[in-house]
Amino acid sequence: MADPVEMEQVVFNLVRNAIDATAGEGSAAKVLVSLKQRGDAVVLEISDNGPGVPAELRPRLFTPFTTTRGDGTGLGLALSQRLVERAGGEIALMDSDQGATFRVVLPRKVGFKEAAQ
């Protein structure tokens, strides 16, 4: 039910952040992207094995201009949250022992055949 261009921007922002977070991991760097259907929702998760999100940053993670990168604008997560919420979904940082995992949950569009049943 989301605008494809807007969701492309969300995925781009999250994957770019994950790649940046794993820059110090060398050949051990991992970024995992998964997309699953759960009932009437679609769940996108993007995980990395970087250093994770510092505890002091978590409360304002989706606030504009919040960044840990010297060259970052701090707008990627704020924009992503706005686009996901406009599509009726939610975005969150999940608790993790290693790295970071962001989860995007969007309502699933009911197809024509399903709506007819």
Residue 77: CATH number of its domain: 3.30.565.10
Decide if 115 is inside a domain: no
55 or 112, greater pLDDT: 55
Decide if 116 is inside a domain: no
Q: Show the tokens assigned to 32.
A: 């995992």
Decide if 43 is inside a domain: yes
> 2 pLDDT exceeds 90?
no
Decide if 67 is inside a domain: yes
Prediction pTM value:
0.84
Is residue 110 within 8 A of residue 60, CB to CB? The reply is no
76 or 72, greater pLDDT: 76
Q: What is the pLDDT of residues 77-114, one digit of tens each?
A: 999 999 999 999 999 999 888 899 999 999 987 764 55
Q: What is the tally of structural domains in the chain?
A: 1
Burial class, 92, CB count within 10 angstroms (exposed 0-12 / middle 13-18 / buried 19+)? middle
> Can you give the residue range of the structural domain that contains 86?
4-110
SS3 at position 61: coil
Q: Confidence band (pLDDT; 50, 70, 90) for 24?
A: confident
- Tell me the average pLDDT across 42-70: 85
Q: How far apart are CA 8 and CA 53, in angstroms?
A: 23
